[in-house]
Structure 1
Amino acid sequence: MGVAATVEKYLKAKQIDFTLLEHDYCEGSYNTARVARIDDHCLAKGVLLRDEDFHYTLCVLPTRNKILRHTLNQIFDRHMELVEEEELTEIFKDCAEGAIPALGEAYGIDVIWDEELMGVEEVYIEAGDHRHLIRLKQPDFAQLMQDKLHDHFSAERTRHSTLPKKYIRHEYEL
């Protein structure tokens, strides 16, 4: 499949240059970072939440992190909860189950992104399947997120460790 049609159309409309990184089939963002040999701090995952009025918000955060839902509830002054899998399938129709691109605007969804993502040179996001990642340079990622709500709403998971440097893909290898 490669890049989901909605995502590709969105990136073209925004005039964003990107490259595609192919990797072995893998599910789960932490596992994807390992298989793709990238630092899990550089892979931005999208987690869809909704409030009690069914208003959706896509949270974009580093894969190594977990959402601090209490913090999000304070930011929005709402009760935020995870969206059920069947709703995800309805919203992200052109994506494989569990391969949500961290580009909510492409799907008409509000976005909040964690400011920790500004600390990396490149940001990788799911392309919509379990075999490809979109690689964005930081200025391009920043451009996509410039008008979106941002804050610190996540924290590093203690059970995941950083991939050893010798396994991380470097610019010159791509």
Structure 2
Amino acid sequence: MQHIVILISGTGSNMAAIVQAAERERWAERLSARVTAVISNRPQAPGLALARDAGLATHVVDHQAYASREAFDAALGDAIEQHAPALVVLAGFMRILTPGFVARFDGRLINIHPSLLPAFTGLHTHQRAIDMGCRFAGATVHRVTAELDHGDILDQAVVPVLPGDSAATLGARVLSQEHLLYPRAIAAWLQEQGG
């Protein structure tokens, strides 16, 4: 069985979409894979309650309790390793990971980013797309490397930028596509691994 560990920092909407897709699409039977744990760097992350309600193991590794990014990443890595993951999924996990962490989970670490990479790495992607006059925006699932938002692209979803869009309205349209895109990309990754 391939174990999936999901990292979150907030509401966990992408995590919930992945968990629901895994159930609906019978990943355990079809792909020999299941989500086993959800880990957050924020003790009050609402997504933790969603994960518990879904019967998943949850852990908090509070980044504020560590003196350095390296110390936090080491503790986070140890918490993840308890679940022997085939795949570590960043789903709204708002921490930049150290090169050592990325190397520890090399080839098993993916992220979703709310832009059509390579455009608009980093933050404020929706406003930046509007400010640049883009006609399309979207989301990208990519492998995580030591360079922020630069790993191999696994899948993308495209949405139109509409006249009068704000960052909030565009962001909501992109997020609705993320909920379809991320489970699809994970299922494809699992299938490639021979699940």
TM-score between the two structures when normalised by the length of structure 1: 0.32
User: RCO greater where, 1 or 2, for CA within 8 Å and sep 6 or more?
Assistant: 1
Q: Would you tell me which structure has more helix in proportion to its own residues?
A: 2
Q: Which has the larger radius of gyration?
A: 2
TM-score between the two structures when normalised by the length of structure 2: 0.30
